[in-house]
Structure 1
Amino acid sequence: MKLLFKKAATALSLATLAFAVGAQDYPGSKPITAVVPFAAGGPTDKVAREIALIMGKHLNTTIVIENTGGAGGTIGARKVVQARNDGYTILIHHIGMATAPALYRNLGFDPLKDLEMVGEIADVPMLLLGSKALPPKTFKDLLPYVKTNAASISLANAGIGSASHLCGLLLQSALKQELVTVPYKGTAPALTDLMGGQVNLMCDQTTNVAGQVKSGAIQSYAAMQGKRIDAFKDIPTAAEQGLPGIEVKIWHAMYAPKGTPKPVVDKLSAALQAAVADPGFRAKMAELGAEAVPPARATPASLQKHVAAEISKWSPVIKAAGVYAD
């Protein structure tokens, strides 16, 4: 028995040593797969591809984006929760990581316990947008129009749990008015119908609509946060125009499977910190109306604290709305 125990202990020590050596060499020439739990071309995908390109240079490898959409981002998240914890599969997700626990009664994983935090990436503000065919041309005129015509005004979103859905919930709460909610399977079809006049209103991330806003293809009513957006200084906030209390900022962050060795997580986080400080990345985010986080927020400790705070913030909002995705 003693001999068996000694052999087992030796095997465990050798495995631990091999893991440590592997972590030192990580990632080597092997590519890293970054799962984005939304469709290609969407706002989270855009942030992911920009950060992956720069992080890959710092890690001397390629970070390949794998789009695994569905169920408000939970399918892709579960895929990473169940992936090998060797550092070669990571997750890039948005605020949905913190809202999923309230939206899905049978989520199947705990964001705070079943993943390793790597760090935050960028904050993306939201805009309230309208079809060009909608009669009100200013937010001031929109407010009374909505109250009078609420039963016939459609509010599009990219699906339950999406950023546009969450923003829409807060908008209706602030208006004290229910609108005709129209969920789509993704941001692209929702935006297409908004531009075509099939739906009236939509909240969306600046990273997804910068081109359409600047070209005038859709109306821009308000910035859905406490201050004006640097890239869209001419669009007043909702608070400036008579509707205070709306603060929606969509944040993006990076995770790894639970049990990923700390030296590997530290390497990923160090590369992430370098990437968010990169002038090229910061400029690209600013161009899209987004803001790269400071390096101090691109850390495991900061992200852990942030996710916990966001779960506490959004859970009562979602429960009060009585909306569930499952």
Structure 2
Amino acid sequence: MKRVAKTIAAALAVGVMGVAAGAYAQEFPGGKPISAVVPFSAGGPTDKVSRELTAIMSKHLGSTIVIENLGGAGGTIGAKKVAQAKNDGHTVLIHHIGMATAPALYRNLGFDPLKDFEMVGEIADVPMILVGNKQLPPNTFKELLPYIKANAAKLSLANAGIGSASHLCGLLFQSAIQTELTTVPYKGAAPALTDILGGQVNLLCDQTTNLAGHLKAHSVKPYAAMQAKRVEAFKDVPTAAEQGMPNVEVKVWHAMYAPKGTPKPVIDKLSAALQKAVADPAFRAKMAELGAEAVPAQRATPESLRTYLSAEINKWTPVIKKAGVYAD
């Protein structure tokens, strides 16, 4: 009888918890603000995507989404904070490809991208373009390659920090041309670009969301789009592939996550708002203006993100291990 009583009590407890979770999910977000942790500096490419996205998501959720920039360690500090945050839906993470590369780059990561988060959905794909400062003599990619070979010891390649997308792109570029340059890591893409504009560093492989205004103003020299096809917004920039370097492809994708254990109905609400946001004409137009592409609504789902993140981890882990590069 005692065993039966315990079983009934346990079942009742689970039922009560389920009802409570369901009631909470119905109320969520209940007018309370949501903190969206962007693990990179303000003004950088991920920050720009996040601010455009959350402004629209806020309208659909009926609550303000406040961006919290928490940069450092290639985005892992901010990601770890969200992994350890209260799982009530009021803290989310907006991260890029770094969620897939971090497991190989950091030997003591402190979190598992697949196990320590609930997936909300994908957001946008952003191309990368290799640019140089205006003082560099080469004007084309074909002129740049021999110039690098002859002046490698004097040339610097900036990145947004160890483990960042620009760092990864730079690694692939150096591997492809079989030449090492002096790499200069910054605390974010914005300060790296500032020094490119000022002539303090020579080259940078960066996201179009960060470069768009400067490409239009011709304040940097674009050498190559790091993907198979030309960037729709910058069709005058040839790809590395069409200039004889087909193996240098880096697409920076962005996605949203919540702490593990966030109730499914809450995730569903967040994902529904995300799907509406990526389909919003204003968001799609803004992404296109920045040279990026908002994902179709069917990719802004937990299932799609989990499948894609897993595939990206499997893709990048052997590449990074072969390079023997660690960020910690």
What range describes the TM-score normalised by the shorter chain of this pair? over 0.9
1:13, distance to aligned residue in structure 2 (A):
2.5
1:7, distance to aligned residue in structure 2 (A):
4.7
Moved segments of 4+, more than 4 Å: 1-9
Q: Is the 8 A contact 2:127 2:207 kept in 1?
A: yes
Which secondary structure state, in structure 1, belongs to the residue aligned with residue 232 of structure 2? coil
Which secondary structure state, in structure 2, belongs to the residue aligned with residue 54 of structure 1? helix
* 1:103-137 deviation line (CA, Å, top 9, x unaligned): 10010111011100110000010000001111111
Q: Is the 8 A contact 2:87 2:262 kept in 1?
A: yes
What is the CA–CA distance in structure 2 between the aligned matches of 1:177 and 1:302, rounded to whole Å?
37
State the partner residue of 1:210: 212
1:4, distance to aligned residue in structure 2 (A):
6.3
State the partner residue of 2:12: 10
1:241, distance to aligned residue in structure 2 (A):
1.7
Q: Is the 8 A contact 2:93 2:257 kept in 1?
A: yes
State the partner residue of 2:66: 64
1:266 aligned to 2:264?
no
State the partner residue of 1:300: 302
State the partner residue of 2:147: 145
1:23, distance to aligned residue in structure 2 (A):
0.8
1:153, distance to aligned residue in structure 2 (A):
1.4
What is the CA–CA distance in structure 1 between the aligned matches of 2:127 and 2:6, rounded to whole Å?
59
1:15, distance to aligned residue in structure 2 (A):
2.4
What is the CA–CA distance in structure 1 between the aligned matches of 2:172 and 2:290, rounded to whole Å?
23
The total of aligned residue pairs comes to 326
1:100, distance to aligned residue in structure 2 (A):
0.4
1:5, distance to aligned residue in structure 2 (A):
6.1
* 1:50-98 deviation line (CA, Å, top 9, x unaligned): 1111111111111111111111111110111111111111110000000
* 1:3-53 deviation line (CA, Å, top 9, x unaligned): 666555434432221111111222121111111111111110111111111
TM-score norm. by structure 1 comes to: 0.97
1:94 aligned to 2:96?
yes
Q: Is the 8 A contact 2:149 2:179 kept in 1?
A: yes
Equivalent residue runs for 1:215-254 within 5 Å: 215-254=217-256
Q: Is the 8 A contact 1:140 1:242 kept in 2?
A: no
Q: Is the 8 A contact 1:128 1:220 kept in 2?
A: yes
> Unaligned regions of 5+ residues in structure 2, if any?
none
State the partner residue of 2:169: 167
What is the CA–CA distance in structure 2 between the aligned matches of 1:216 and 1:286, rounded to whole Å?
19
What is the CA–CA distance in structure 2 between the aligned matches of 1:13 and 1:113, rounded to whole Å?
25
Give identity over the alignment, percent.
73
What is the CA–CA distance in structure 1 between the aligned matches of 2:131 and 2:283, rounded to whole Å?
26
- In structure 1, which of residues 32, 43, 47 is the aligned counterpart of residue 45 of structure 2? 43
What is the CA–CA distance in structure 2 between the aligned matches of 1:192 and 1:59, rounded to whole Å?
36
Which secondary structure state, in structure 2, belongs to the residue aligned with residue 221 of structure 1? strand
Which secondary structure state, in structure 1, belongs to the residue aligned with residue 137 of structure 2? coil
What is the CA–CA distance in structure 1 between the aligned matches of 2:245 and 2:66, rounded to whole Å?
42
- In structure 2, which of residues 202, 207, 220 is the aligned counterpart of residue 200 of structure 1? 202
One-letter code of the match for 1:205?
Q
1:119 aligned to 2:141?
no
What is the CA–CA distance in structure 1 between the aligned matches of 2:98 and 2:14, rounded to whole Å?
38
Q: Is the 8 A contact 1:34 1:64 kept in 2?
A: yes
Provide the aligned C-alpha RMSD in A.
1.3
